[in-house]
Amino acid sequence: MPLSDAQVQKMKQKRETILEQAIQMFAEHGYNDTTIAKVAKASGVSFGSVFTYFENKDQLFYAAVVEPLRVYAKELLDFDSNAEDTVAELRKMVTAHIKIFSSFETYLRLVVQVIGYHNRFAEPFAELDAFHNTFRGKIGELVKKGQEQGQLQVRDANYAATAYTSLLIGLRVNLTDSPDSQMWEKFVPFAMQLFGPKGE
């Protein structure tokens, strides 16, 4: 007996709710202090149901880390590594990234944990690491282009990209309780400096 469309919809919705609550709680209280029972309660389902949608706690954690990544990845990679005016594109990119990071508080807490315990969380870490490489790579390309055009001082573009992503994650770690995006914006010029724009 196939499920009706309405039923499929309802189930999707339920899965979504559980995942959102899980992200919230994993980020806030960590893996161990987040119990399946608490997630279930916060989601308004029985804890048995959590196992209907996620094989086990590790899978739930994996999904909590990896699924948002797909969304955020797109936003973070939304810049043109072939742009003509490299510096302008970089500035647009940095501004967008800063804005995204300032609003990511919950999710990035999760990311930091995964990185911190990458032995324990090998699988989600692999995904994050893969994205990080893609991310750095694309930024590196843009930087390289800017250097070739003479708009940026010549330095190792990959290191510049790594310094840049490190600054982003470091700010997120340090400004733990500062959702105030105005303050975040102040860091745009500092981030730009890492790329060595000429005449600034």
Task: Name the site residues for DNA (rule: CB under 7 A).
Answer: 1, 3-4, 6-7, 10-11, 14, 32-37, 45-49, 51-53, 56-58
| Residue 72's binding partner out of DNA, a copy of itself, none, with CB under 5 to 8 Å set by partner kind | none
| Residue 120's binding partner out of a copy of itself, DNA, none, with CB under 5 to 8 Å set by partner kind | a copy of itself
Q: Which lies closer to DNA via its Cβ, residue 3 or residue 126?
A: 3
Amino acid at 61: F
| Residue 130's binding partner out of DNA, a copy of itself, none, with CB under 5 to 8 Å set by partner kind | none
71 CB neighbour count, 10 Å cutoff: 10
| Residue 198's binding partner out of a copy of itself, DNA, none, with CB under 5 to 8 Å set by partner kind | none
| Residue 36's binding partner out of DNA, a copy of itself, none, with CB under 5 to 8 Å set by partner kind | DNA
Query: Smallest gap, in angstroms, from Cβ of residue 83 to a copy of itself?
Result: 22
Query: Smallest gap, in angstroms, from Cβ of residue 139 to a copy of itself?
Result: 13
Query: Smallest gap, in angstroms, from Cβ of residue 19 to DNA?
Result: 13
| Residue 21's binding partner out of a copy of itself, DNA, none, with CB under 5 to 8 Å set by partner kind | none
Chain length of the chain: 200
In angstroms, the CA 184 to CA 186 distance is: 5
In terms of Cβ atoms closer than 10 Å to its own Cβ (0-12, 13-18, 19+), residue 170 is exposed
Query: Smallest gap, in angstroms, from Cβ of residue 110 to DNA?
Result: 16
Q: Which lies closer to a copy of itself via its Cβ, residue 71 or residue 159?
A: 159
DSSP the chain: -PPPHHHHHHHHHHHHHHHHHHHHHHHHHHHHH--HHHHHHHHTS-HHHHHHHSSSHHHHHHHHHHHHHHHHHHHHT-S-TT-SSHHHHHHHHHHHHHHHHHH-HHHHHHHHHHHHTTTTTHHHHHHHHHHHHHHHHHHHHHHHHHHHHTSB--S-HHHHHHHHHHHHHHHHHHTTT---HHHHHTTHHHHHHTT-BTT-
Residues in contact with a copy of itself by the rule CB under 8 A: 28-33, 109, 112-113, 115-120, 132, 155-156, 159-160, 162-163, 165-171, 173-176, 186-187, 189-191, 193-194, 196
Q: Which lies closer to a copy of itself via its Cβ, residue 28 or residue 85?
A: 28
